[in-house]
Amino acid sequence: MNNVIKYLINSFVILLVLVQVIFFIYGIFTDFKLINEFKNIDEETLIGNKFVKNSEYIKQNLIFEPLKSSMYKYNSYNDIVSKCKSISSGCKYSVIHGDAHNLQFSTLYNKDMNMTMFDTLIKGQDIDAWDAYPLFWADSLDKLQEKVNFIADNLYEQQTQLINRYFWHEAPFMLNAVNELDLGRNKSEIFSQYGFLSAYTVKFIMQSLGGINVENFDKAKNIINLTYYIISIAFIILFTKNYFIRFIFTILFSIYFFSIGFHSYHFAPTHVYIRHFFDLLIALMLFWSMKFKESRTCYIAIVFTLGILSILLVKDFGLFLFLSIVGTFIIKYVLEFIERRRVDLKELWIFIIFILFSIIACIKYPLMDNPSTKYFLDGFYSLPISMSIYMLLLFAISLLWLGLIWFYVELKRSNYLLSYIFLLFYTEFLCVLFVWKGNFDNINFAIIALPMLILFHFIVKRIRNILYIIIAPILIFAYAKYCYEYISQMALYENTFATHRNYKWDHERAGGIITTYSFERFDDALRLINKYSKNSNELYMISKYDNMLQFFSKKYSGLKYFELKSFIITDDEYNEVLDLINSKADILYVDTDIFNVYYKELKERRFFDVYNNQWLPNDVMRRIIQLKILLNLFDDVRDKYELVEHGKLIDVYKRKKE
């Protein structure tokens, strides 16, 4: 019976591994696709058998105009039946004449003040009296159905545009660092949130695939993640012979992958596993240093080497690993001294040298320190998790430390002692990241579960079997749930391309990616950059597209920050950028719509603006505030510049002669 169970579990683990590998391979061998994330760049949607421009269709059909409601017979509040919880899930709605009272297609509106909830959000006013109003109307049910279908086909993309936190906000935190390294910029002026050696690794893979471009960046991400996944599976096989623990680790890894969602995995460099690439290797080397005592010094030297490399790879996660290693060996030497009244001096000297080299690696870290420290500190001040979850987290970690005391003899006898202590420290640091961010997006469930899984070896067999019976169906259910949601998001994403006109970007830095918006305006911007900044690698630009245009033009920002709208947080950054413009920018590139886009946000009542129950109002407000910052920045310097050429995306200004 036991052999049958063992065979079934091992077969299921193999199936899990194959499924997971398929997802990584899919990312490597398929075209990378990007939906339109820019609210001010048009796309075209398929309606019937023809494409229509979104801006024109919305202006004619989906502007909230309650004063004209009496002109129409049907509306979105009474004549639409909901068949699912959220239109953003991609489902279709039934349109009938009746009394459906569909709250998803209504908004709170004050007729006397002529203000919607979105208006009060923008203007910061408080109003107590509200009535539910339909968001749109039609003179026939067919026309109403057409509008609903248009919304269903566009809401996913429009939501991305409103929040403004998609690929071209996230990816440049690695892409632009790679670009600047390739251009030979002074490393102390380069900011890479995702590390130094990691940027070189991604750069090397992209160049091996044919060049530095967006298409190869996505392939590089999946190649790195596949490599780390293979290391993870090899680790758990070498780390334990318990087939059920192998099952738990493997399924937790897949649950983590699917739980972050396709949308997040698709655009965020934070999900490139290179940030913590050496963590499991370090745990394995510590295990082997106790298991194979004749080669102990060799394995410990490897641990210390990986610790130093981790700092150079990605500084923040590297410091997590460094401190975890230091804590592990301090406890090791204290325990050895208590038990034997001596320590291995040779090993102790190697440990001291490791600490010295790690400190040097931190001090001499070649890239710019994070210029937005306030952003990270705010995460702790705000405490995005509830106090009950925080206390539960502390309780769980305390139990794991008690486990070290309770099972000390077993941990030492089974050679897990050092790896357990290391993983305990490392788990604590990962939980610090969780406390800052408020979710587990950056924390692999399989890793933080490892200390508990190690203790499973020492629990009484009967109790252990009961725990397995309880845990297994829960994990299988979670796996099925998150896998289904991930695939559903993929299908919804693909539907955007099925219902929109597609474009292939053949630019060298695009690599042939497929998008739902044309490259024409960006191509015109690059023409202007090549014309006016041909002999310089530096650009001075006040633009929503600054990070993207730097990457495509193979240049970098002379204003310190590769993305102004995200890095200008306080007056210090604002004045710093202002001083650089005044002192260095002879040619200044500015968005063509910089005067219109901010005020346009305040005047229009597009359906996708007013319909705000699908996203966080704070995200919408942040984007509008960022637009205002760019406008203020240009207002402060525009008297010193004159327009020399008008473009489709950006204008070129030249400093006036004194």
Q: Which residues sit opposite 34 in a β-bridge?
A: 515
Residue 380 confidence (pLDDT): 46
Low-confidence ranges of the chain (pLDDT < 50): 379-381, 614-616
Q: Are 45 and 153 in contact (CB under 8 A)?
A: yes
Residue 541 confidence (pLDDT): 96
pLDDT single digits (tens) 377-392? 554 445 566 777 778 8
Residue 340 confidence (pLDDT): 85
What number of other Cβ atoms are within 10 A of residue 555's Cβ? 22
Residue 614 confidence (pLDDT): 43
Q: Are 576 and 560 in contact (CB under 8 A)?
A: yes
Residue 123 confidence (pLDDT): 66
Residue of 426, 506, 629 whose CA lies nearest to 211: 506
Q: Are 45 and 500 in contact (CB under 8 A)?
A: yes
Instruction: Give the sign of the dihedral formed by CA 360, CA 363, CA 364, CA 369.
Output: positive
Direct distance between the N- and C-terminal alpha carbons of the chain, in angstroms, rounded to an integer? 91
Residue 385 confidence (pLDDT): 66
Q: Are 593 and 40 in contact (CB under 8 A)?
A: yes
Residue 86 confidence (pLDDT): 56
Residue 381 confidence (pLDDT): 46
Residue 440 confidence (pLDDT): 67
